[in-house]
Amino acid sequence: MDLVIVGFGVVGQGVAEVIQQKREFLHDAFRKKTRIVGVFDSSSYETNKTGLDPSALIKRKASKNKVGKRRYDGDAWRILGALEYDTLIEVTPTNIVSGEPGFTNIATALKSGKNVITSNKGPLALRFRELSDAARKNNVQLRFEATVGGAMPIINLSRELLRGEKILSIRGILNGTCNFILDRMMEEGLPFAQALREAQDMGIAEKDPSYDIDGDDSACKVAILANAIFGLDKKYSDVKKTGIRGVTEDAISLAEEEKKVIRLIGEISPKRLEVAPRLVRIGHPLSIGGTRNIVQIHTDLAGEITVAGKGAGKYETASAILSDLVALLNENKKSRVIRR
């Protein structure tokens, strides 16, 4: 399977490393070479039909801050259209206003009959239906496990392993930064501002933390789950949201007296898309601390299934992308058998 990676920041480099590391497994399991035949960062690119060396790409990026020798204007989609490959791995930064450059990259690939694997929330939280329609029409797959909760396998679990269940609703902690802050406020009795500063010092929160703490990131994930699992056609702006700026030390210690904690919970069902701080009983799965993401899936037969994993990180995100790649290779192996 020939891959093109667009985006060569932390996630793109993680993907390249993982493809290198899992080379033997991929070959032994699927009897086919998995090669990177193209790679793009925001200003340079490189292609090679016989495969690029992942380590060399990472080294060049580290030393020259460019992944390729060839310059371009940043419109990867113009070059993508002329390339021969099987699957696009789209890992450019999320933009939740325009969805670009992710949207156009993904749409271009799908329309030219390529599979797409992405970690890019923007395009899926803004224009999901257009992209999933394009995938169906062109008989290719659009896979996006990495867009929700990093290594937490919520999408493939819901759509594949739980295929026989009727999923009624989903609720969970979809942002590790908020959970870290709320957990520290409780554990140490810190005021919000101080817990936020601590998270910023540790690199868990951004300098401008609003995307996380105002609930935008969680709202994007709520919209993606609503579309992917309930077949809705929702944008992130359709999600009712309240962030955690208003959570006071008093509220947290009152909760603690009742053996409860406050958690920022996303709720998804055909009738409700919401992100808000909620009281959760200690001992309940959604009471966990730290930066994990955790989700409960309510179904007709199983009752409730919970899944958790690290919500961010280079290898964690690459792990989710690898799981999508393995699923594609598995499908592909079967369809090759059919063609014989």
Enumerate the active-site residues: 221
- Closer CB to a copy of itself, residue 98 or residue 306? 306
Report the length, in residues, of the chain. Answer: 340
Q: Please identify which residue in the block is written with the tokens 């989609």.
A: 77
Q: Are 169 and 234 in contact (CB under 8 A)?
A: no
* 259 class by beta-carbon count within 10 Å (0-12 exposed, 13-18 middle, 19+ buried): exposed
Task: Say which DSSP state 50 is in.
Answer: T
Rounded to whole angstroms, the Cα distance separating 73 from 81 reads 15
- Closer CB to a copy of itself, residue 24 or residue 201? 24
Backbone angles phi, psi at 245, to 5 degrees: -60, -30
- Closer CB to a copy of itself, residue 69 or residue 302? 302
334: its two tokens: 């079967």
- Closer CB to a copy of itself, residue 3 or residue 125? 3
- Closer CB to a copy of itself, residue 66 or residue 290? 290
119: its two tokens: 């970690």
Question: What is the secondary structure of 171-229 as a DSSP string?
Answer: EEE--HHHHHHHHHHHHH---HHHHHHHHHHTTSS-SSTHHHHTSHHHHHHHHHHHHHH
Interface residues toward a copy of itself, by CB under 8 A? 18, 22, 25-26, 29, 151-153, 156-157, 160-165, 183, 282-285, 287-290, 292, 294, 299, 301-310, 313, 315-316, 318-320, 322-323, 325-326, 330, 334, 337-338
CB of 208 to a copy of itself, least distance (A): 27
CB of 66 to a copy of itself, least distance (A): 27
CB of 236 to a copy of itself, least distance (A): 26
CB of 277 to a copy of itself, least distance (A): 17
CB of 85 to a copy of itself, least distance (A): 20
Rounded to whole angstroms, the Cα distance separating 283 from 141 reads 39
Rounded to whole angstroms, the Cα distance separating 321 from 144 reads 8
- Closer CB to a copy of itself, residue 164 or residue 203? 164
* 258 class by beta-carbon count within 10 Å (0-12 exposed, 13-18 middle, 19+ buried): exposed
